[in-house]
Amino acid sequence: MISTVTTKNMISIPVELANKYGIKPGFTFDWKPGRNSEEIAVRVIPDRKTLARRLKGAGKIFSPDRDSVSELIAERESE
């Protein structure tokens, strides 16, 4: 897949890669030099909504029998 840089230093992402990595408007990219002078490493950074969705329920693996949100609400109500 080949893309061309425009005069404004913009580049289009091939649709196959956008679909494969779930790239949508609002995502950002972390660009770093590659192993040699002809390579660039790019890391996809999803938007905040996508990141938050990935984190939802992540704590369950550490304590599957607890409902941390309910515990926090009860703690706040008792204060």
- The answer to whether residue 23 is domain-embedded is yes
- The answer to whether residue 40 is domain-embedded is yes
Can you give the residue range of the structural domain that contains 42? 15-78
SS (H, E, C) the chain: CCCCCCCCCCCCCCHHHHHHHCCCCCCEEEEEECCCCCCEEEEEECCHHHHHHHHCCHHHHCCCCCCHHHHHHHHHHHC
For the entire predicted model, the pTM comes to 0.56
* The predicted structure's pLDDT at residue 57: 76
* The predicted structure's pLDDT at residue 35: 92
* The predicted structure's pLDDT at residue 53: 84
* pLDDT (mean) for 46-70: 82
Q: Greatest CA separation found in the chain?
A: 61
Can you say how many angstroms the Cα of residue 64 is from the centroid of all Cα atoms in its chain? 25
Confidence of residue 6 (pLDDT cuts 50, 70, 90): very high
- The answer to whether residue 47 is domain-embedded is yes
The tokens describing 77, both together, are 């109500």
**How confident is the model over 9-53, as pLDDT tens digits?**
999 999 999 999 889 888 899 999 999 999 999 999 988 888 888
The tokens describing 37, both together, are 């002078």
The tokens describing 56, both together, are 């939802």
Total structural domains within the chain: 1
